[in-house]
Amino acid sequence: PEISVKGIPDPHKVREIVSQAQDEAIEKSRVVKIDSENQ
């Protein structure tokens, strides 16, 4: 049982990682918009 439990990530950590990834994606899309507007 321990081995299979180790394979499952902590839901709280997963939520943190997902929200961080979303924030990074939003920042990147903002930067891309600014770059295309400047050109």
pLDDT at 13: 86
pLDDT at 19: 94
User: Where are the strands (E) in the chain, listed by range?
Assistant: none
pTM: 0.55
pLDDT at 5: 60
Structure tokens that stand for 37 in this block: 């507007």
- How much of the chain is in helix, strand and coil states, percent to nearest 5? 85, 0, 15
pLDDT at 23: 95
Q: For 1-39, how does the pLDDT look when each residue is reduced to its tens digit (9 = 90+)?
A: 555 566 677 888 889 999 999 999 999 999 888 788 887
Separation CA 24–CA 30 (nearest Å):
10
pLDDT at 3: 57
Q: How many helices (H) does the chain have, and how many strands (E)?
A: 2, 0
- What's the longest Cα–Cα distance across the chain? 57
